[in-house]
Every structure is written in structure tokens, then in C-alpha cells.
Structure 1
Amino acid sequence: MRQHTDGPHGGTAADVLPPVGRLYDDGRRLFLHRSGSGGPAVVFLPGAGMVGLDYLNIHDAAAEFTTSVLYDRAGTGWSDQVPLPRTGAEVTDELRRLLHAAGVPTPYVLVGHSLGGAYARHYAQRFPDEVAGLLLMEPAHEDWDAHMPDPRLMVEVEDPHAAAGEGTSEPGEELLQQIRELFTQMLAGWPAPIRERIVDLHLDPVRGRTGPREKNFRTLYGELRRAEDTPDVPTIVLTAMALDPMMSWFMPEQLERRMNEGKRALYEALAASVPHGENRVLDDAGHNWLHAQRPDAVLQAIRDLLDRADT
């Protein structure tokens, strides 16, 4: 892979270049931001619809005591656009090539959020010798449906633009303002120039609407079931039990509470399924922004995993 710091494919530098980090090219450009030194390196795998810099608060703190890496999958954030969705194998192969090209030495503590949590587990299944620990924040999981309420009561979780009745057309000004205010609030601790670029990206009509297009759960869950067992590495699951502000746009509160109870049981089972697993319940954080609402809990989990990896 080649490193790039100048104008990318299909746009001007002002339009597409990330505010920090670099673009690495092996036929498509992938964003990666690396800070700190030492190991094991901490690598963040964003949730669907999220980008690497959404986790900058934890990244900067972790970089004070180890190497920390943020990145955007192809088709998301500041990385090049590709057809979505993709398989778990494609995503994990891509991440492995990128980390090797960036010279990030193994092993890694993978920090996966939501969809990124499923990818983190799949990476560990496929490349167990490269993983020293797993932090799974509200991870997508192949047994999700079995723990959820009656499917007839479920509301499909979609892009909030579409959920608000906008379909595939441009969202209305009122919804755009709500989205902007929420992202600005959650990213309040980020440096202002970087925060503004992240919020603008999330509101972009193309690059900011990747969440629903990334989800390929039937294929991904099949890959997880067919793969080797998750390796015997320290694993911490973070379960967020508070109501999430984004969920209120398209899900009744009572249904979200019922989903949370099913989720707690699922994540308890996930933690118990590995020899060194632990589930930590956060009553004051929601699914999408737990790392902004409880950065202390996320950072403590990373420290604990690094300590356990050393022993």
C-alpha cells in the first residue's frame, strides 16, 4: 500500500481528505490515524454508520499508554467508496492488509462497536495469533434474533432519514437540524475543527448514509457460525442499558426497553462463552454513543485488557 496525504480519487482535497491521519492505497484509499507507541496496539472497528474519528476521544486517551489506531472501512467515512454491503472476510482481510501496510505490529486489542464488534470477533476467529484481546461494545451477534422480542413487534432499524418518512429523498431541514445537534452534542469534547468535519461527513447525502447499506447480517452471521471458535483471549463486553437518543426517532420506548433486556441476556451468554470473558453493564449509556457517554468505562476496559494480555 502507498501512503497519500494529497487529493484523493473523485473529489478535491477540501472535500474528501480527512482532518487527521493518512490515506493508504492498494487499489482503493483507506483512512487510518495512528497515535502513541508500544503494544499491544488498540484498533477501533466502528459501528455501521459510524466513522473512525467518532472514537477520537478514546483513541487520544489510549495513545497516552499504547499505540492506538482509528480507521474507516472501504465505503465509509474518508475511505474510498465501494459497493456495499460486503462480507466479513472482505472486511477483515482489508483491515489486516491495512494494519500491516501501516506498520502496526501484532498482536492487537480489537475494540469493536456494534457491527464492528462482529467484525472484531471474525478477525479473531480467522487470525487468532494476531489478537491479544477483544473489547466488544454492544456487538452485533448471530444469536441476536433469539434474544429479541416477538418479531411481530419489532420495528426495522433503518437510516433515521428514511425512518422519518423521507425515503431516499433528501431529509427535511428539521431532521437535519436534529441530527446535527445530536452529533455536535455527543462530539462536544472533540477539537472544534475536527468535530465540524465529522458532523459534516455524517450529514453528507452519500458518505453519511452508509449504515443501512453496510448491514449484511445474514451473510456475516453465517460466516461467524462457520468459522473457528473465538480464541482464548481476554474479552470484555460492554452492555449499554440506557435509552439511546437516536433510537427515539424510529422506535417506541417500551420496545427499546424490551430489546435491552434481551440484549443483556445475549451479552451475558457471549461473555460466558469464552474462558476469560466478562460482561460490564452500563446503566447510563445508550447503544450508539456509549463511548462518548462513558469514556471512562471504555478506557478502563482497554487498560484491563492490556494488563490481562501482559499476564
Structure 2
Amino acid sequence: MWIMKPPLGEYYDVNGRELLLHREGSGAPAVVFLPGAGAVGMDYWDAQRRAAAFTTSVFYDRAGTGWSESVDLPRSSAEVTDELDALLRSAKVPGPYVLAGHSLGALYARHYASRFPDKVAGLVLMEPAHEDYRAYMPRELVERWDAWDPADALPDELPGEILEFYRVLFEQETADWPADLREPLVDSHVSREWLLTGIREAANIEAVRDEIRAAGPLPDVPLIILTALAIDPFKQAVSAGVPEKLLQAENDGKTRLYNEFAASVPRGENRIVEDAGHVTLPFRRPDAVVQAIRDVLAL
């Protein structure tokens, strides 16, 4: 279902589909926020508005997600990055861009940079999905992931207590936001449709990883990774039954991976964020996100 009348943004036609994009600020390079799977552009509003104080700052919803028009999911990374390129042209957002990608959005950001190197001035990757992530994880944790069946993740009827649990979590993370933004965002996040969208979009993650592997090197641009280490209620909710020692081992593994990833490019850096988790990073530490954007622009 395509939910009309979002709290922020305008619609732009891209290949016959109406896509939501919100922009503030002025100047270049523009920063563009790429949401993770299950996230939407407005989740990055706090960081996006702060970045608008010093440059053009944009968030958007991919087709089939958030308040943009529906499309069958999943899609290839080539489709997603072609769409982003067309949307930025349609919305007349000046390039080159600093791409701020979160989780799955970080894979798309890297793919865009590899495909359109002249259009990218820098990368800020928040808790990035990575093609080698599993190789850095303990075997027991990987086996647990392999045993998880996404078909069982969302039954036809979600228990009210589960929905209320997620509602409270999202309300806590957006407690200081204006009510006209917070309320529709939280209501939509706890809808079955939006919960399913995150699962559907990431269903072809192995194919997307293969696209990244085949894409070639990144351009020589500044890269800052933000690694969030808090095992917060969101992480606990999606990791139910996983012992804390394994969650700590995941943190150790991803820190090693991101350190090596940052060291593999000429101007790369991995920054540790202790007081936020994978989902909550843009909500709890927009200041860390914006500082990384400032620093990428300065390099």
C-alpha cells in the first residue's frame, strides 16, 4: 500500500513512479541519506536537518518503501542506484554528493560510488552492511542466522503486545521530535506493511553483495564508518534468544571488519559510537553522523 500525504517532502516522477524526497539547506556537495532496510528517509530527519545548516541535505524513500510509490521487492542494487541517480536529477539536487548510507543503504551508497565515481565526493557509512560480514562472525552466530526463516518472522496477525513494544521503542527514540513528525512516523513503523517491507527488501541480500563484489573499487574519496556497539532494546528484540556473549562477539567481529575496510582505502576511518545500536544510531547520535559529514566535506 502506498501511503499518501507524508509529513515532509515532495514527490518526483522517476520512470513513472512517484518518489518522496525532502531537502533543506543550500550549497554543495549535497549530503544524501540512504536508509537501511526497514528504515525510511524520515528516520534520519534529525541528522538531515542539522546537516542542512551547512550544505544541501536530502533524505528520500526508495520505491516500495516508506511514503514512496509501491514496487515489487526485492530489487537489484543496480535498479536502486539507477533510481537514485534519476531522482537526484529530477529533483535538481546539485552534485557531487556525500552519501550517508545506513546498513543496507550503505551497500547501495558504495555501489552508487563505484558506478558513478564522478558524482560522489565522500561516504559516511553508518553500521554498514558488508559482503564479508559473515566471515568475521563466530560460527554459532552464523548458524543461528541460517536457521532463521523470514517467512516465520511476521505472522498474519501480530500480537498487540509486540506492536506496543515496538511502538514504545520508536516513541522513546523520537521523544524530542515534533509531534506532527513523530506520530505518523511511529504509527507507520508499527504497521504490518512497513514491518514486512524491511524483510522483503533485504530478501536478496546475497545477490546485492555479489553486485558489490563485482562493482570494482571505490573512488578515492573520504570515507568515515560509524560503528555502533550498544546492545540496546532494539538489538535485544531482533536477537531474542542469542546469548550476550555472542552479541559481544558480533561487535568484536564487525569492529575488526570495519577497521580493515577503512584501512583499505586511502582516506578511510572507522569511528566507534558506544552509546547507540545498529537501529538507533541516527536517532541517538545525530551529532556523530553530522560531525562525520562535516569531516568528510573538510577532507
Same fold (TM over 0.5): yes
Correspondence for 1:22: 10
CA separation of 1:159/1:250 partners in 2, compared to 1, >3 Å: closer, same or farther?
farther
Q: TM-score, normalised on structure 1?
A: 0.90
Render the CA deviation track for 1:125-158: whole Å, top value 9, x for unaligned: 0000000000001101111111011056643397
Correspondence for 2:162: 175
Q: 2:230 aligns with which of 242, 259, 263?
A: 242
Q: 2:56 aligns with which of 51, 55, 67?
A: 67
Return 5+ residue gaps in structure 1 as ranges: 1-9
Q: 1:140 aligns with which of 129, 133, 136?
A: 129
1:79 paired with 2:68, answer: yes
State how 1:236-275 maps to structure 2 within 5 Å: 236-251=224-239, 252=242, 253-275=244-266
State how 1:102-181 maps to structure 2 within 5 Å: 102-151=91-140, 154-156=143-145, 162-163=152-153, 167-181=154-168
Return 5+ residue gaps in structure 2 as ranges: none
Correspondence for 1:52: 41
Task: Give the Å deviation of 1:254.
Answer: 2.3
Q: Secondary structure at the match of 1:29?
A: strand
C-alpha separation in 2, matches of 1:161 and 1:64: 43
Query: Once superposed, which parts of structure 1, at least 4 consecutive aligned residues long, lie more than 6 Å away?
Result: 157-161
| Residues 44, 110 of structure 1: 8 Å contact kept | yes
CA separation of 1:226/1:186 partners in 2, compared to 1, >3 Å: closer, same or farther?
same
Correspondence for 1:5: none
C-alpha separation in 1, matches of 2:162 and 2:192: 13
- 2:22 maps to amino acid: H
| Residues 160, 250 of structure 1: 8 Å contact kept | no
Render the CA deviation track for 1:204-258: whole Å, top value 9, x for unaligned: 2213421111112111111111112011000000011110322212422222111
Correspondence for 1:88: 77
C-alpha separation in 2, matches of 1:207 and 1:250: 16
| Residues 159, 209 of structure 1: 8 Å contact kept | no
| Residues 25, 54 of structure 2: 8 Å contact kept | yes
Corresponding residue pairs, total: 293
Aligned Cα root-mean-square deviation (Å) = 1.8
C-alpha separation in 2, matches of 1:200 and 1:16: 14
C-alpha separation in 1, matches of 2:149 and 2:296: 33
Higher relative contact order (CA 8 A, sep 6+): 2
C-alpha separation in 1, matches of 2:257 and 2:175: 32
State how 1:191-202 maps to structure 2 within 5 Å: 191-202=178-189
Q: Secondary structure at the match of 1:211?
A: helix
Correspondence for 2:27: 38
Q: TM-score, normalised on structure 2?
A: 0.93
Identity %: 56
CA separation of 1:101/1:152 partners in 2, compared to 1, >3 Å: closer, same or farther?
closer
C-alpha separation in 2, matches of 1:154 and 1:119: 26
Render the CA deviation track for 1:90-130: whole Å, top value 9, x for unaligned: 00000000000000011000000000001000000000000
